Amino acid sequence: MTNSFGEFADAKMFLCIGTNMTEAHPVASTFLKNALRKGAKLIVVDPRKQPLADLADIYCQIKVGSDIAFLNGLMNVIITENLYDKDFVENRCDNFEAFKAKIMEYPAEKAAEISGVDAGKIREVAHLLAAVKPAMLCYTLGITEHTTGKDNVMSTANLQLLLGNMGMPSAGVNPLRGQNNVQGACDMGALPNVFPGYQKVIDPAMTEKFAKAWNVAKLPDKNGIMMPQMMEGLVDKKIRAFYVFGENLANTEPDIRKVEHELSSAEFLVCQDIFPTETTRFAHVVFPAAAWSEDDGTFSSSERRVNRVRKVKTPPGEAKPNWWIFKELAKRMGHEWASNSGREIWDNEISILAPALGGIKYSRIEEDGLQWPCPNTEHPGTAFLHRDGVFTHGKGIFNPVDWKPPAEVPDKEYPFVLSTGRRLFHYHTRTQTGRSGLNFLMSEETADISADDAQRLGIGPDEYVKVRSRRGEVKVRARITPQVPPGMVWMSFHFRDGSANWLTNAVYDPNTLTAEYKACAVTVEKL
């Protein structure tokens, strides 16, 4: 997030696109609701009329995967009606002319045709957005989980640059991150192209810096491969050993049958987890790990805030802290590592090696955490990025992007679009929530469909249906709901039985290799 949750309550305007905030980030949504009570405006753009849409001043029910067409059409109105922030665009941004040329290809009528939101409403959104400044743009996986995910993100940034909604409180581009420490895992360099602190592995100065710090002669200097490539590598044996730490890939990745074929092809699979999962079934060695509350450390939240996590109990049996397991493996491969606790790893290594985290020490985050960038121990942390329109590259860069349809669209044989997401009462594959009593509030998966489709297919409330795609099929109860438009099915992947991932399409954004969980074609049959 460029900005912070603390700015929600004072925001004047929100544009929420592809975010099911009341279910996936409930506490964040309470601050948004507080702002609405004080008169803030809300525009919601989402294929599903989820609870946030009920609170919106304007709700745009776009077709699945039409985000860029909608946003380009919106920006077309903003540019042609001269509603944009000319001062910000001229002085703080680059590449406006090329961007404008692309946007001119998307008049509101064309955007309307692709997105299903009528041109008048697109103009209405443009006028409301231009009338209130600043606006906070929030998105979640509705933007990223597409074959055009990266371009979708670019498009949201283009809009905020055009409106000059950057570099000030209650503004910015704000992806709400789904997991407690997905921000931190990125910050720590658990990515194939960067060391901790986003320092590139292909930069010789960086490999030299880290080789010295880690006391090794050299470090690999070309980018590694990403998760889907790793798993495909298990089949063609390019990858001979695969180490899975705390991920239940057999349930979370698209097209479960494909994933399980890959996992079962592994020559040597190591799993490190707190529970036996569908993934550990394929392991050759399983390491039992300490869970949350069984170790001292830090999480980094969506707003770049490094918060303390504390130990209150010992791990069960022989389970050990994860950092200890990695350290022991390193030792057995000839490397002695000095740090012997979360605090030593953070204070003596991470905060020394990652400049943006340099000022964050355990002693400073006993209570409220600190938000990076926080370069030195006097620095108070950074609530919002790009202050006064100063960007990492100097100026903000417009990236012209084109709309492309999802890889698989409905046809005669598979006439419904399946989109997926998370539900309030569960978290991912329920390894945690399924063992905390939350099944009481939701005990099985459903296929959410419209009343129109239910009536047409003769499906009654809670009756079993078969949902089938080119990859597989599931039997689940139908949940007939006004949230879902005709022609759409919406499901989650919380339950192994009836998981959407038996159906989802393993196709990826070409740059990020994010899978298109949000769009594939299915058929629904009454049972």
Partner 1 sequence: MNITINGKVCEAVEGQTILDVAKANGFNIPTLCHLAGLTPTGACRICVVEIEGMRNLVASCASPATEGMVVRTDSERVLSARRFIVELLVSCHPLDCMTCEKTGDCTLQNLAYELGVTSSKMEGEKYNYPVDSSNPFIMRDYNKCILCQKCVRVCNEIQGIEAIKTTNRGFDTKVATAYDTTLQDSNCVFCGQCVQVCPVGALTEMKSKGLGRAWETKKVRTTCPYCGVGCQLELHVKGEQIVKIMAVEDASPNKGRLCVKGRFGYDFIYSEERLTTPLIRENGTFREASWDEALDLVAAKFKQIIAESGPDAIAGVSCARSINEDSYQMQKLFRAVIGTNNIDHCART
Among the listed residues 481, 413, 429, the one whose alpha carbon sits nearest the alpha carbon of residue 450: 481
For residue 501, give both structure tokens. 């991932």
H/E stretch holding 78 reads helix 67-80
Give the C-alpha separation, 178 to 514, whole Å. 14
Q: Give the shortest CB-304-to-partner 1 separation in angstroms.
A: 10
Question: Rounded to the nearest whole angstrom, what is the least distance from the CB of residue 436 to partner 1 in the complex?
Answer: 4
Measured CA to CA, the distance from residue 248 to residue 244 in angstroms comes to 8
According to CB under 8 A, which one of 314, 340, 377, 392 is a site residue for partner 1? Answer: 314
Residues within window 397-456 making contact with partner 1, judged by CB under 8 A? 424-425, 427, 431-438, 440-441
Residue type, 408: E
Minimum distance from CB of 372 to partner 1 (Å)? 11
Q: Write the interaction track for partner 1 spanning residues 265-304; mark x where CB under 8 A is met and - where it is not.
A: ---x-x--xxxx---x--xxxxxxx-xxxxx-xxxxxxx-
Among residues 301 and 469, whose Cβ is nearest to partner 1?
Answer: 301
Instruction: Please state, in angstroms and as integers, the Cα–Cα distance from residue 466 to each residue in 252, 421, 449, following that order.
Output: 21, 19, 12
> Which H or E element spans position 417?
strand 416-421
Of 99 and 195, CB closest to partner 1: 195
Residue in this structure with the two tokens 């931190």, named with its chain if needed: 184
Question: Shortest Cβ distance from residue 511 to partner 1 (Å)?
Answer: 9
Give Cβ neighbours of residue 368 (< 8 Å, ≥ 6 apart): none
Touching partner 1, residues 453-482 (CB under 8 A): none
Residues 12-41 that bind partner 1 (CB under 8 A): 24-30, 33-34, 37
Q: Is 368 in the site for partner 1 (CB under 8 A)?
A: yes
Q: What torsion do the CA atoms of 66, 500, 229, 197 make, to the nearest 10 degrees?
A: 70
Q: Given the rule CB under 8 A, which of 62-70, 226-234, 447-455, 483-491 is the region that contacts partner 1?
A: 226-234
**Quick one: which of 92, 258, 327, 494 contacts partner 1 (CB under 8 A)?**
327
State the Cα–Cα distance between residues 305 and 299, nearest whole angstrom: 8
Using the Cα atoms of residue 447, residue 450, residue 454 and residue 460 in order, give the sign of their dihedral: positive
CB of 273 to partner 1, least distance (A): 6
Binding mask 138-157 for partner 1 (x = CB under 8 A): ---x--xx---x--------
Q: What does the block give as tokens for 45?
A: 């753009």
State in angstroms the smallest separation of the CB of 284 from partner 1: 5
Site for partner 1 in 332-351 (CB under 8 A): 332-335, 337, 342, 345-346, 349-350
Stretch that binds partner 1, among 106-114, 210-218, 392-400, 410-418 (CB under 8 A): 210-218
The residues near 175 (Cβ < 8 Å, ≥ 6 apart) are: 1, 138, 139, 140, 143, 144, 153, 302
The CA distance from 204 to 1, in Å, is 29
If one counts every other C-beta atom within 10 angstroms of the C-beta of residue 230, the result is 18
Scanning 126-134, 165-173, 235-243, 443-451 for contacts with partner 1 by CB under 8 A, the matching segment is: 235-243
Given 164, 167, 172, 189, the residue binding partner 1 (CB under 8 A):
189
Distances (CA, A) of 144 to 18, 22, 412: 9, 19, 27
| Binding of partner 1 by 193 (CB under 8 A) | yes
* Residue 508 Cβ vs partner 1, minimum distance, rounded to whole Å: 9
